[in-house]
Structure formats: structure tokens, C-alpha cells
Amino acid sequence: MTHDAPSDEENRHTVKIDAFCHIMPRPYYDRFFELDVAVHAANLRKRVSNIPSLVDMDVRFAQMDEFGDYRQIINIAAPPVEDLGSPAISKEMARIGNESMAALVRDHPDRFAGFMACVPMDDPDAAVAELDHATGELGAYGAQIYTHVNGRAMDDERFEAFYERMAASGGLLQVHPCRSSAWSDYPTEPRSRYEIWWTFGWEYDLSAFMARIVFSGVLERHPDLKLLIHHGGSMVPHFAGRVGPGWDQLGARTPEDQKEDVEGYPLTKRPIEYFKQMYVDTAMFGAANAVRCSIDFYGVDHVLFGSDSPYDPERGPGYIRSTIKNLREVGLTEAEQDTIFQGNVTRLLGLTAEA
């Protein structure tokens, strides 16, 4: 069943809280451009320098005005702080980022509903300390992490204390993909070509992260951990048959001499049920069919409006506009739309819908 799309005026008065947006506050941006960084981070530096709304709030706010009653929950844009140098640099950059985002939220509550902490995961003890500082002192509603730390899988036992503290905090843990052209498409090649590392590689990264978190028992041990997976849960809802009945046969395809590869933490539920515990955003870049698939798999109560702004071709408003349009055209009731636009995030984080 479809519903008539609301008018532009109705759209402007709909409360919308964008749960996954990127930013580089001026102090962070300036320090980022001072650092001597590796090739991948240098390439991203070139990219962010061409997106004014990441750092120029006048540009950003002018773009946001198009969407009426619209606010953002912000996080620090890629690259991860772990890619910027030593653990000491990671700690420095995380602190600059968190204090700068807290200032933006404090100074512009009508624009920013909150922020997610930047945490230096190359030093897990420091990550816990920064999480405590950002949530306890600065008012962060959770944190953002990436799908690996310098190639290290995120189910490594050294991150256990961070997940424990994150679950106890009650906040959201945003998960963002991370891969560069150095991750080749085939073992015989030195680099990925045609930006396959981004288009498909980032989605594989997210999906692999989710699977490792499930089978390593992170969600079994920490059932209160609220993971917000970027890009609609990535590959998982689109391959629900493989994730469901396929993984119910875990081990059936594995040779006897590789059995240790499928012997994870003992789980008490089907694998697919742990995937469904996660929350996802709607950042599908205007692909309404993909948004609908994510909603069908996770359910309305586990989907949060998120745009991935400002990485669209317009460098700011494009993905916000297309994501709002998607949610208006995929057959949701007005109540379901409202749940995704603001109900879920306000419920999960204890926000109020008004600034």
C-alpha cells in the first residue's frame, strides 16, 4: 500500500533528527591539516577540503534550512583518528574533536541534537577514558567506531572492556566502514581498481564487522550494547536467506582441518537473531528499494533516519533530501515515518524532539 506524499510545507514541519551525519569542527579541521599523514588520510584530506559544509557552519546551516524542523547528531568525519599517526596523535585528535563538537551542540541546539564521541581505538584503555570523558563531562550520546583498527578485527579481546563500558553507558555505538584502495580486489593485484574498495568494499567491511561481533559473542555477553550500523545494515538485509538458514548450517561447508575457523563463542540464539538486535540508519543514497529492504528486515523500531550528509554530489543537502523522499514513498504510515524520523532516536537516547 502506498500513501500520498506530504507537501513541501508538511515536510518542513515534520520533526526530523538525522542520526548519522559527519562534521569537522574548525579546531579539528585545522589540526588535521597540520599533521604529516599517510597516503590514504592525505587523499581524504583532499576530499574534505572540497566539502565546505564539513567545516563552515554558515554553509551548513543554510543547507539545513531547506528541511524545516531538522536537526543533526554529528560525528567526526573520516579518516579514523587511528589513521592519523601514533596513539598519542589519536588521543589528541579525539579530544579536540569531542570538545569541538560539544561546543557546537551547546552553541547551536536548534541545529545539533547531540554528538557521538570520537574514541582512539588504537589504545583501548584511552578509548574507554575518552568515552567516559565525552559522555560524562561533554554530553555525548555514544560513540563512533570503525570496522577495523589498522587492519585489526574489532572482535579482538583487547576491545572487550570498551564494549562493556559502552553497553553500560546506554548510548549508541555508531559503526562506520573503513577501507582504502590498498585493500585489493584480488590477491594477485596490488590495489583495488575503479573504487571497488569503496562501492562494495565498505559494505563488505560493515557486514564482516557485524558477523564477527555476532559469532565472537560480543552481543551474547553484552545484550544491552546498542549498535547503529551505517548504510541500512549493509549487506545483511539483502542476504537474509544466507544470514538466516544459511548460517544455521555453520560448519557444514568447512573442512575438518579448518574447524577452528567456525568455532566461535557459544550462542544461545540463531545467528540471525543477533543481527536483528542491531539498529540501522537509512543512508542508502536515494535507493528507496534498499531502504524498504532494511525496514522489512530490521523492523520500523530498529531503523533511524540518517543521511550520511554531506557526502552527496551537492556536498550537503542531496542525501538528506533523497532520504526524506525515500521514507515518504516506500509505503510507510505517517506514524511509522515519524518513528523513523525521530521516535526511535529520541527513545534510545532520551532526547526531546524539540530543540
CATH code, 338? 3.20.20.140
pLDDT band at 3 (very low <50, low <70, confident <90, very high): very low
Mean pLDDT of 56-78: 98
- On whether the CB atoms of residues 107 and 38 are closer than 8 A, the answer is no
Which conformational region is residue 198 in: left (phi greater than 0), alpha (psi within -120 to 50 degrees), or beta? alpha
Residue with cell 590477491: 187
pLDDT(9) > 70: no
DSSP state of 307: -
| pLDDT digits 0-9 by tens, 287-299 | 999 999 999 999 9
Residue 313 lies in a domain: yes
Rounded to whole angstroms, how far apart are CA atoms 269 and 217? Answer: 11
Whether residue 8 has pLDDT greater than 70? no
Indicate whether 203 belongs to any domain. Answer: yes
The C-alpha cell that represents 265 in the structure block: 563463542
Short-list 101, 89, 196, CA closest to 142: 101
In sequence order, which residues have a C-beta less than 8 Å from that of residue 347 and are 6 or more positions away?
none
Residue 40, domain member (yes or no): yes
Q: Tell me: the pLDDT tens digits for 85-136?
A: 999 999 999 999 999 999 999 999 999 999 999 999 999 999 999 999 999 9
Share of the chain above pLDDT 70, in %: 96
Residue 355 within any structural domain of the chain:
no
**HEC assignment per residue over 26-74:** HHHHHHHCCCCCCHHHHHHHHHHHCCHHHCCHHHHHHHHHHHCCEEEEE
**In this structure, are strands 152-153 and 148-149 parallel, antiparallel, or unpaired?**
antiparallel
The answer to whether residues 219 and 225 touch, using CB atoms and an 8 Å cutoff, is yes
Cell 531503523 maps to which residue? 303
- Number of independent structural domains in the chain: 1
Instruction: Give the pLDDT confidence score for residue 35 in this predicted structure.
Output: 92
Cell of 57: 557552519
Average pLDDT, the chain: 95
- CB of 319 closer than 8 Å to CB of 311: yes
Specify the pLDDT at position 2: 44
Is 2 inside a domain boundary? no
* Mean pLDDT, residues 232-261 taken together: 97
Q: How many helices (H) and strands (E) does the chain have?
A: 16, 11
Please check the confidence at residue 60 and state whether its pLDDT lies above 80. yes
- Mean pLDDT score, 272-276: 98
109 phi and psi angles, rounded to 5 deg: -65, -20
> Got the DSSP string for 56-119?
-HHHHHHHHGGGSSEEEEEEEPSSPGGGSSSHHHHHHHHHHHHHHHHHHHHH-TTTEEEE-EE-
Q: Where are the alpha helices (DSSP H) in 299-342?
A: 318-329, 334-338
pLDDT of residue 7 exceeding 80: no
Write out the residue range of the structural domain in which residue 31 sits: 8-250+258-349
At 12 the pLDDT is: 65
User: Is 354 contained in some domain?
Assistant: no
- pLDDT of res. 11: 67
Q: Is pLDDT at 169 greater than 60 in this prediction? A: yes
User: 86 in a domain, yes or no?
Assistant: yes
pLDDT confidence bin for 63, thresholds 50/70/90: very high
Phi-psi region of 186 (alpha: psi -120 to 50; beta: other; left: phi over 0): beta
Buried b (16+ CB within 10 A) or exposed e, 7-29: eeeebeebbbbbbbbbbbbeebb
In the predicted model, is pLDDT for residue 241 greater than 80?
A: yes
pLDDT digits (tens, 9 = 90+) for 33-45: 999 887 777 788 8
**Residue 221 confidence (pLDDT):** 98
Backbone angles phi, psi at 117, to 5 degrees: -65, 145
Q: Is the pLDDT assigned to residue 82 strictly greater than 50? A: yes
Task: Please indicate, yes or no, if residue 183 is contained in any of the structural domains.
Answer: yes
Q: What nine digits make up the cell of 219?
A: 552481543
Residue 21 reports pLDDT greater than 50: yes
Q: How far is CA 100 from each of CA 115, 134, 219, rounded to the nearest angstrom?
A: 10, 11, 32
Unique residue bearing C-alpha cell 574514541: 119
Q: Which residue type is seen at 125?
A: D
pLDDT classification of 1: cutoffs 50, 70, 90: very low
CA 207 to chain centre: 12
